[in-house]
Each structure stands twice: as structure tokens, then as C-alpha cells.
Structure 1
Amino acid sequence: LFEWVDEEKVFERKTYKTFKDLLDNYELECGEAEVVTPEEKKENVAFVDAIMETDVMQEAHKYLISKGKSPEHVGQFKWQLYKIWFSLVRRTRGDRDQDSSSFEHVFVGEGRDDKFIGLHNWIQFYLQEKAGNIDYHGYFRHSTVQDDEHFRLIALQFDWREEKGKPISSCFLGTSPEFEIAAYTICFLLDRLCKTDVQLGEYEVEIDVKPFAKNYIGTAYIAAARMY
């Protein structure tokens, strides 16, 4: 999918660098206990701190305050973000250990039996394709705008390490970590079961967020408002 990405330019940005630091903190398989080390917790906090320095997250915070969904104090809002995205949950049924988090599912991806679930982020997809972990089968371009040569929203098919299949996974290309966190957090806090059409510049998109155990995000992704 990716012929070339200027990694030096991309990952010199603070939010991208701190985001990348999080991607190797998780066990692949659902059912395998997740253990957050002190170093990993520091990385989580560093990411939240970094995104809160951006205009995108500051505007998101103001909007959520206006809707009565978030505390005004920045420190309390950071804690709200941390709990939503990094709290450990039990995704598998039965008496299992906590094996997942909202962040892991949406941005990193997980294995469940012969399937690969989650992973709706272009940075992780790029890094895993580069590492040879993803066998990319092609994409379906969504008709977000007419005659758009530089399309940004695609649906993908791929296999993970030739073991686990992902029949379809949509992602937006080139979006920042703070943009995706802001969009999904707003939708989740306004409506726990959110499926709403949004105009993002020239793109008509649908943001789909589903809850997990009420207080966490089970999945979240951006798709085309008109699928085909």
C-alpha cells in the first residue's frame, strides 16, 4: 500500500513519536493478559500530554465542556482520556485476564482465533507492512468526493503473518493521532453508540463508535458516508 513514507519528518512530530512508542506495548492475542509496566504507563501519559498540547485536542476539550461531557480542568480531562483509552478490559468471554484496551483494539489491532480484529490506523498499518507482518491484498476506494486523485479514505483487505485474515478494515490516510483521538472521543462521550455522518472539509464520512462495558470504546473507525 505504501511506496514511501518520510519517517524522519513524520516521527519528529511529538504526537506521532509518542504514538509510535505505544504500538509495541501489547500482546497480540485476545486472551493473553496485558501487563502495563511503569515504563509503558509513562509512555501512555506522555502521549496524552503531547496530544493535549495540540489545537485539535484543545478544541475538542472546549467542545466537550460546552456539552457538559468533560471537566474543565485540563488535568481531569487528561485523566478522562487516559481511562477511556488505556484502561484494561476483558475482551474474551469466560474467566480470563484483562487482555485488551480501547487503544489497542482501534490503533494496534488484535488476534482472535484465525481473525485479525481492529487496526484502523494508517501509521500502524504502514509500520506492520514495512516489517513484513501484513500481507496486503488490496483496497476499495470509497466515493467520498468526485474526481479526487489524492484519496484519503480506503477499505483494506489483508492477512496478518499469513495466519489471521482481515476481510475489511477502513482507515483514513494521513490523519494525525490527535485528530483520531479527538473525533472518536467526542463521538463516544456524546453518544455511547455513535454512528454519525460528518463533513470533514471536502469529505463526507461516517464515524462509527461502539462501546465496550459502557465506559470504554469497543471499536471506532472512519468510513465513507456513502459506502460505494
Structure 2
Amino acid sequence: MAKSQQTNKELTEVFNQIWCLDTNRLRPGTDYIISLQGRAGFVAQGSNNARDMARAPLFKYVNEAKLKSIKTFANFISLLDNYEVSTGVAETVTPEELQENRLFIDSIMETDVMKCAHKYLVKKGQSPADPAQFKRQLYDIWFRLYHRDRSGGEDSCGFEHVFVGETKFGREIIGLHNWVQFYLQEKKNLVDYKGYKARDNKDTPDEDDHVLNLQFSWKGLVKPVCGCFIGVSPEFEVAIFTIIFLMTNEKMTTVVAKVDEYLLELVVYRNGKSIGTSFPKLLSSNNRDV
């Protein structure tokens, strides 16, 4: 396990470059509005009893016209209905879905965010310089199917777990760390936001924060705490978590980085040559002390 509470200065610098290049990021209060409401309480893993500290949805408004007018977001959204949610159920990938995967990778590779990430990984000797080969590497990291539940076939991939979400043995939610998927599921009344998570009342997040720790229910199950970026582009998340994944061979890697005003733990688990899971954990924001 690679873990350090010391801020990684080199990756902090790279991630802030990528942050500044994320021109597709939506603006809080303008492109979307969230309602944090109450602070969620403790819920044991596997328990489905959570006191609802948020009577209204997390997302009060999202400019869907703008969201769907941005190519990377539009291609990202097209992937969200391609997966079986339950682990243990083998995935069937159609030719159309394979094409959607490739279109998504093609579109993110057109952004300065991914070009910056690619340049850094080439410099560090972790990725091929040829963009076509790098796209294949990205495909293997995020879309290659593998066994998450050994009782079934190839039932998962990094993209499904991180961005879509899964249920494990029908008893717990795993993954689902993406704000767009959260919003779309909430809009369909499939997600019930229970409140934000914070260590104490002094660490209350702001409604313009781009990183939150949340509690919610989905498909009749409760996720006690879930770290999510809010408003960022899919290419931003793919970029930073791909970098962390490729910079170590450890089963689990945690990088502490100050990105914009947020002090974060960025966590990546690997499943062979693919991402098992990846998510941010907000330590502090708005220059508050940890």
C-alpha cells in the first residue's frame, strides 16, 4: 500500500495545471446549483437505515443544454446505460457500445486536459508518445472488463465502477463517484441524497465547492460516505486518476494534493492492469485547516 499524508508537491503542480486547463468544468451557481442541507450522520457499512438530513435533492438546477452541448460530457452520458449494475452478472458489450467507448476516449483526447496528462506520463516513461497507443492504454485502464465478483463472468470495469456505480451481492453500493451520474439518477428519483459528510460542524462545505463527501441511497441501499468531484469534466477525472494509477504498481495508492483551494486525498485501487476504483476524499477547502 502506497500512502502518505504528506502533500505530493510534483503531482499537486501537475493536477493544478490540469485544473486550470479544465475549461469544460461547469460553474457553480451559474451552470448548476446544489443544496447541501443537513449534515449526514453515521451509518454502518451494509446498513440501509440512514436518517434523511436532506429533504430536497442535492441538485436544484443543472443547465442540461450546456452539459449536452459539450462533446466530452455528451459522449460520457451515452456510456451510462451500457452496464449491468449488479456484480456477478457478466457484461455484454455490443458493437455500438464499443464504438461509444472509443468516441469518448477520442473526444477527451482532443482536450488540453488529456494532452497535458499524456505529456506528463510520456515524460515519466509511463505512457507511449503515440496518441493512438495511449488511447489503447486508456481503454485497458478504464474499459477492459474483469471479474469483480468471482462467482460470475467478466462483470465490471473501471469506468462502470467509478462513474456508473454497482451493487455488490445486493447488499451494498460500490463506486458511483461521479456527479453527472448522481444528478441523472437523482432526476429519475433513483438516488436519494441524505446529506453531506463532515468531520465536525466547523468543517461545513460550501455550495460552490467542487469536491464533496456525500451520503445517499440508491436502489434501496445506502452508501454511508462517497467522495465526489462536482461540476468537473469527465476528462479531468480520467486525467488525474490515470496519472495516479500509472505512477505506481501498488494495489492501493493514496495521494494527498492541494488542487485549487481543496486539500484532497486521491485514492486509486488497481485490478491488474485496470482501475478497480478511484475517488477523491475532501480533507479541507476554502483554506480551512485540516
Same fold judged by TM-score > 0.5? yes
Q: Relative to structure 2, which stretch is displaced further, 76-85 or 188-197? A: 188-197
Amino acid across the alignment from 1:190: M
Q: CA RMSD in A?
A: 1.9
Q: Is the 8 A contact 1:196 1:208 kept in 2?
A: yes
Report the equivalent of 1:209: 268
1:93 Cα offset (Å): 2.3
1:7-156 aligned at under 5 Å gives the runs 7-94=64-151, 96-112=152-168, 113-141=170-198, 150-156=208-214
Q: Give me the TM-score of the superposition, normalised by structure 2.
A: 0.74
In structure 2, what is the Cα distance between the partners aligned to 1:107 and 1:200? 21
Report the equivalent of 2:255: 196
1:4 counterpart SS class: strand
Report the equivalent of 2:32: none
Report the equivalent of 1:160: 218
1:3 counterpart SS class: strand
1:146 Cα offset (Å): 9.5
Q: Is the 8 A contact 2:267 2:280 kept in 1?
A: yes
- For structure 1, the residue ranges without an aligned partner over 5 or more in a row are none
| 150 and 93 in structure 1: CA distance in 2 versus 1, 3 angstrom threshold | same
Amino acid across the alignment from 1:201: D
In structure 2, what is the Cα distance between the partners aligned to 1:104 and 1:27? 9
Q: Relative to structure 2, which stretch is displaced further, 5-14 or 133-142? A: 133-142
Q: Is the 8 A contact 1:142 1:155 kept in 2?
A: no
Q: More relative contact order in 1 or in 2 (CA 8 Å, sep 6+)?
A: 2
2:269 counterpart SS class: strand
1:165 counterpart SS class: strand
In structure 2, what is the Cα distance between the partners aligned to 1:219 and 1:124? 16
1:225 Cα offset (Å): 3.5
1:156 counterpart SS class: strand
Deviation by residue 1:115-168 (Cα, 9 ceiling, x = unmatched): 11101010000000001111211112579x99956222211111113x222111
| 147 and 22 in structure 1: CA distance in 2 versus 1, 3 angstrom threshold | closer
Q: Give me the TM-score of the superposition, normalised by structure 1.
A: 0.93
- For structure 2, the residue ranges without an aligned partner over 5 or more in a row are 1-57
